[in-house]
Amino acid sequence: MASGASVREGKVLEMERDRMESSNKQTCFPGDVAELDEAMKVLDSSLAQIKWRLKPSTKRRLELDILALTTGMRPVVMVDYGGKMPELQHHLCSLLKLCQKLSPIFEHLRVMIIQDMIYLIHIRGLAEHVRSTLNSEVKLLFVDLEKEPPQMITEIDKSPLALQLISIQKLFSSIFTHEGICNLSSSQATELMDNSQSSSSQIFYSQFTECIDLSNCMEDSEVTVPTLNGWLLGYPVVYLFSKEHIADAIYNLSAKYLHIFQLSICRNTTLKKGSQAEELLSFSVPYDLSTRGSSEQWAEFFMAYMRAKWGRCAYAWKFLKMEVAECHPQAIVL
C-alpha cells in the first residue's frame, strides 16, 4: 500500500503536470536536445564576440542558469558571478541582445535589477511563478528570523511583513504577464503597494529592452532583499525579517545548525560526454525546523513540484535529485 506521503506527492505531481501542460501551450520552451545544444553554441560564440572572458567554472554556471530558465526549471536566477556592477549589467545585456538576434530560444530572457542585485529572468516563467504564488498553488513557508529561536509563521495574515511581500507580488503580477511585460504607470505601482506613502516610485522597463529595473519596488516597504530573493528564486522556505532587524536575523541564523537543501541536475547533451551533476539551486532551513530533512511534508511537496517541471523537459536533463546536508553554526551573510 502506498504511504500517505507518496499519495500526496502523486497528487501534487499529477496536478502540476496538468497545469504545466496547459501553460505550456502559451509558454515558449525548446523542444529537444538539439535545439538546446545549438543555443549553447550561440551563447559561446556571443560571449566571444562581446569579449566577455569568463573562467570555465563561471561559464558553466552561466550555461546551466540559462538552460534552467529556457527549459522552465527556474523562473529567475541571481547572477552573483562574472564581475561587478555596472560592467556585469553591460555584459549581460549585450550578451542577451546578441543571442536573441541569433536564436529564438533566448527571446523571453531579460536582465532584471533590484537595488544592487542583478538577475536573469524568463518573463513568461516569472509570470507563471507569480500567478502560482498568488493563487496559492505554490505554498510558501515563512521563518521569522527576528525571534530567538527562529520560528515558522503559521498565520500569514497576521504578519505585516508577509502582507507587504504579497503587495510586492501583486505589483509583479501587473508587470509580468504571459503576453510579456505590460505597461504600468508609477501611480498604478504606488496604488498596489499597501504601505506606500510615496507617489514618486517608478518602474523602468520596456517590452523591447533587455533590462528591467525594479529597484524601487521595496522603497516604502520593510521587506528585505533576502526575503524577496527567497520568493523570486523559487525557494519553498523564505526568511522573514524587517530592515530594522537585519543584525538580529544574522545573529539568530549564525548561531544555529542548519540543513542545506540542494537540488542537483545533470544535463543531456550531444556536445560532450560524461556530463556531471550540477547544483540547480540550494537553500537553508534551521535544523530545528527541518529535523526530518527531505521527509518534511513541505520538502516532499516541493520535490514533487520540481519533478513535475523536470518531467516537462526531461529530454534536457538526465535526472533531478535532492540532497540534504547539515551545516554547523557559522557566520551567515544575508
CA–CA dist 310, 66 (Å, integer): 15
CA–CA dist 288, 151 (Å, integer): 9
Query: What mean pLDDT is predicted for residues 97-114?
Result: 95
Count, residues in the chain: 334
Sheet of strand 211-213, all strands in order from the earlier edge strand to the far edge: 76-78, 117-122, 109-114, 211-213
CA–CA dist 240, 246 (Å, integer): 10
CA torsion angle 207 211 217 223 (round to 10): 130
Angle at 46 between CA 43 and CA 47, to 5 degrees: 85
pTM: 0.85
| β-strands 141-144, 151-152 pairing | antiparallel
Q: Cβ distance 119 to 76 under 8 Å?
A: yes
CA–CA dist 323, 321 (Å, integer): 7
Query: What mean pLDDT is predicted for residues 152-176?
Result: 94
Reported confidence tier of residue 281, pLDDT bands at 50, 70, 90: very high
CA–CA dist 88, 73 (Å, integer): 24
Q: What is the mean pLDDT of the chain?
A: 85
pLDDT at residue 211, as a whole number? 87
Q: pLDDT higher for 19 or 178?
A: 178
